[in-house]
Structures are given as structure tokens and as C-alpha cells.
Amino acid sequence: MMPSSAVSKTWPATSSESMRRDSAMAVRSAFAASRLSIMSSINTIGRAEPIARFIFIPISGSRLIA
């Protein structure tokens, strides 16, 4: 992912609208990917735990569970 300063140097100012659309799409796809990985992790464990609790489990704890 390029920093926004590099992007603004590469692209003309007129394309700021498409840049905004691209960044919104990137955020949306990142959310979808993280949700998907959380769902697959829950499926792997075999328990439907609350997603909020799942997110806050420390990495060492999730290694112990998995």
C-alpha cells in the first residue's frame, strides 16, 4: 500500500474522486477479509463464540485454543 503523499505525486489532482472511491473500496474489502477470517476461525474451532470476545483474545490465547 502506498502512502497518500506518493499517490498524490503520481496522480493529477483531478483524479482525487477516483482515489477516494478506491480507498473506500480498499477499506470495505479489508473489513470483508477480516470478517471472513474471523468466521473461518470460529468454524475451525467449532464453537460459535461472540465475535467481540473473539477479537479481544490475545494471540497467545488464540494459539492455545487453536
Its pTM stands at 0.33
Q: What is the pLDDT of residue 10?
A: 54
Domain positions in the chain are: 23-66
Higher-confidence residue of 38 and 13: namely 38
Residue 42 grid coordinates: 470460529
34: amino acid identity, one letter:
S
Radius of gyration of the chain (CA): 18
Question: What is the pLDDT confidence band of residue 66, given thresholds at 50, 70 and 90?
Answer: very low
Residue-averaged pLDDT of the chain: 65
User: What is the per-residue pLDDT across 16-42, written as a single tens digit (0 to 9) for each?
Assistant: 777 788 888 888 888 888 887 877 776
Residue 60 grid coordinates: 497467545
Three-state SS at 35: helix
C-alpha to C-alpha distance for 65 and 41, rounded to whole angstroms: 11
Q: What is the pLDDT of residue 38?
A: 75
CB atoms within 10 A of CB 3: 8
